[in-house]
Chain A
Amino acid sequence: MSARSETMLWIAQRATAALLALCVLVHLITMTVAVQGGLTAAELLGRTRGNLAWAAFYGLFVLAVAIHAPIGLRTVAGEWLQWRGRAADVCCVAIGVLLLALGARAVAAVTL
Chain B
Amino acid sequence: MQVGSNLDVDVWRGGAEGGYQRYQVPRQDSQTVLDVVTWIQRRLDPTLAYRFACRVGMCGSCAMTVNGKARWSCRTHVAKVAQDSRLTIAPLANLPIVRDLVTDMREFFDKWARAKGQFSSTATRRDDFARVAPASSARKEIDAAIECIGCGICYASCDVVAWNPAYLGPAALNRAWTLVNDSRDGDQSARLAAVAGDAGCHACHTQSTCTERCPKLLSPTSSIAGLKRATTRAALKGAL
Residues of chain A touching chain B, judged by Cβ–Cβ distance below 8 Å, are: 1-4, 6-8, 10-11, 75, 78-80, 84
Contact = CB atoms under 8 A, between A and B. Distances in A.
A97 B220 CA distance: 37
B234 to A, nearest CB: 8
Contacts of B163: 78-80
Nearest to A3: B196
Q: Is the interface of B mostly helix, strand, loop or mixed?
A: helix
Contacts of A3: 192-194, 196-197, 200, 231, 240
Nearest to B228: A10
Q: Is the interface of A mostly helix, strand, loop or mixed?
A: helix
A78 B164 contact: yes
Contact of A1 (B164, B197, B200, B235): B197
Interface of B: 160, 163-164, 192-194, 196-198, 200, 202-203, 228, 231-232, 234-236, 240
B59 to A, nearest CB: 33
Contact of A6 (B192, B202, B234, B236): B202
Contacts of B234: 7
Contacts of A84: 198
A10 B192 CA distance: 15
Given A3-B193, A79-B163, A11 B236 contact: yes
Contacts of B203: 75
A16 B238 CA distance: 21
5 contacts: A3-B192, A3-B197, A75-B198, A78-B198, A79-B164
Contacts of A10: 202, 228, 232
B160 A6 contact: no
A6 B200 CA distance: 10
B231 A7 contact: yes
Nearest to B165: A82
